[in-house]
Structure 1
Amino acid sequence: MPPEPAPTGRGAALVTGCSSGIGRATALALHRAGHRVYATARRPGTLAALAEKGPRPLALDVTDESSMAAAVDEVESAHGAVTTLVNCAGYGLTGPAEEASLDAVREQFETNVFGAARLTQLTLPAMRARGRGTVVNISSIFGRYAVPGGAYYHASKHALEAFSDALRLEVAPFGVRVALIEPGPVRTRFGERFVAGFRDEAEGTVPEGDPYGEFRRRGAAYYERIFRGEGRSLAGAFVVEPEDVARAVVRAADARRPRARYRVGLLARTTIQLRRVLPDRAFDAFVRRQFPVP
């Protein structure tokens, strides 16, 4: 199958986490919108099918300084600057907060927060020199509130939102825009790892004597239905596709004055608004009705 037509010249876009899901859909959507897309992943071999459609594959590990610097250098050598940086790489660490390994928590933040922050630092000097550029960070509805079983994943998204809010004000005088994308549940392989955090990975079952055993069982079943778009819960009824998120990224990247936040899906629009208007006690009651709790 021949590659799709060459882009029309909106500048170079560097997208992380493109081996599947939101990153892959975003790379393809930006290419079709006319950007020169560098689609990245830790293992470039996973990008072969995507590369056939036009985006250029590039190795990039957001937890490795030399890998990030090399990727940015390659794009800047060819185009002078990264015009659009899209920080998609990330995963969800799940399970009870009490039981999480702090090494696993550090790894979560290295990927979801520090990788995005360092890539932004690496690309900003050339953006500033050109007087233009856009940074798009993929957050989540859980960047605005948190529910049981996702304390550290949600904390990483809260951190990404705070980073983006401060950055947006700092770089605006240089012509650089910053936008956040806040989707609800997305039908991707991300969900598989999210669900696995509620289970014992070796056995696929909950260990005996786990004080959170019943919570783990219900959490695994609940999120498995969510990411399949099944069930009667509010979340299960409004799962979105990676392409829905990608369209929001393109809108942010192409806008002259992008919004600070783009909510993707009805669940994102409704629950984030609820969090804004409800007192904590009332919102806690809503969470208890909609999500598994211990």
Structure 2
Amino acid sequence: MKKVILITGASSGMGKETAKKLIQEGHIVYTVARRIDQMEDLKDMGGHPIKMDVTNEEDIQNVVDTIVKEQGKIDVLWNNAGFGLYGSIEDVPLDEARKQFEVNVFGMAAMTQKVVPIMRKAKAGTIINTSSMGGKMYFPMGAWYHASKHAVEGLSDCLRLELKQFNIHVVVLEPGFIATEFGSVLLDGFNKLPKDSAYRDLMDKIMEGTKKAAQGNGSSKPTVISDSISKIVNSNNPKTRYRVGKFAKPMVWMRTYLGDDLFDKIVMSQM
């Protein structure tokens, strides 16, 4: 069945690969991101790219109004926009931390607030929120990123219970290591931090590990995400969580069952 789908953060990586798959499946796919020039190929395929900033509520309202005017409904919202901010709590400026939450949490919430009334009126819909395996566990230097994804998890659980009465499904996507721009953004963030940071040795080790993961077999291809999103979109009763990609399931299992001390030792042994 053809569905009207809205995807944020679709200019690259998981969002773009999934948009291609959903367009090929015959769905009506609206993709939004700040870099609209990077979505021209989606337009050529039959998609509907629109420039939008998830931290700008006027942008969000204009996009939602456009879709409703053209299609009369929104069946699926995939809140996929987000980025990773890494660095010690001591070093990362609080203004940068606030930006992390503005995009990863409040941007997602703003999109949801605009779309839910449409789905509620239709008594149907699916909202997919991109969390991370990092929403269930943690690595050093990732406090603000992990905090934002832990927030996504909690917000999504509450939202699921609130919307159940309106036949709106809320699904949490928890990717592991995926071959996207995430690593390069993380490295750029490290380069902005003080060169004489007390945490420089730890940062260097994490940077080295990130580079190796990007170059070798340390990440899954974005297609594992597109396959999962396709299953969710085409399901009448999707699961509440989809944990996919390199290391996602074993890392969350270890965090859940090994306890703090042992998990800490395992993580730091890789540093």
TM-score range, shorter chain: over 0.9
1:254 aligns with 2:234: yes
Does the residue aligned with 2:247 lie in a helix, a strand or coil? helix
**CA deviations over 1:39-89 (Å, ceiling 9, x no partner):** 111132221122112211112110101000000111111222211001111
Aligned mates of 1:195, 1:182 — CA distance in 2: 22
Report sequence identity in percent: 38
Aligned mates of 1:149, 1:259 — CA distance in 2: 31
- 1:203-282 aligned within 5 A: 207=195, 209-230=196-217, 236=218, 239-282=219-262
Tell me what 1:134 maps to: 126
Tell me what 2:169 maps to: 177
**How many positions carry a matched residue from both structures?**
271
Does the residue aligned with 1:105 lie in a helix, a strand or coil? helix
Of residues 75, 83, 89 in structure 2, which corresponds to 1:83? 75
The amino acid of 2:89's aligned partner reads A
Aligned mates of 1:282, 1:261 — CA distance in 2: 26
Please list every run of at least 4 consecutive aligned residues from structure 1 whose deviation after the TM superposition is greater than 6 angstroms.
Answer: none
Does the residue aligned with 2:148 lie in a helix, a strand or coil? helix
Asked whether the equivalents of residues 93 and 153 of structure 1 are also in contact (C-alpha less than 8 Å), the reply is yes
Tell me what 1:111 maps to: 103
Asked whether the equivalents of residues 196 and 220 of structure 1 are also in contact (C-alpha less than 8 Å), the reply is no
Structure 1 gaps, min length 5? 1-8, 231-235
Aligned mates of 1:200, 1:116 — CA distance in 2: 26
TM-score using structure 1 length: 0.88
- 1:32-47 aligned within 5 A: 32-47=24-39
The amino acid of 2:214's aligned partner reads F
Aligned mates of 1:129, 1:228 — CA distance in 2: 47
Shift of 1:268: 0.7
Structure 2 gaps, min length 5? none
CA RMSD in angstroms, aligned pairs only: 1.4
Asked whether the equivalents of residues 143 and 158 of structure 1 are also in contact (C-alpha less than 8 Å), the reply is yes
Does the residue aligned with 2:37 lie in a helix, a strand or coil? helix
**CA deviations over 1:205-235 (Å, ceiling 9, x no partner):** x61x3211211211211111123335xxxxx
**CA deviations over 1:177-205 (Å, ceiling 9, x no partner):** 0101111111112210112222247xxxx
Asked whether the equivalents of residues 93 and 152 of structure 1 are also in contact (C-alpha less than 8 Å), the reply is yes
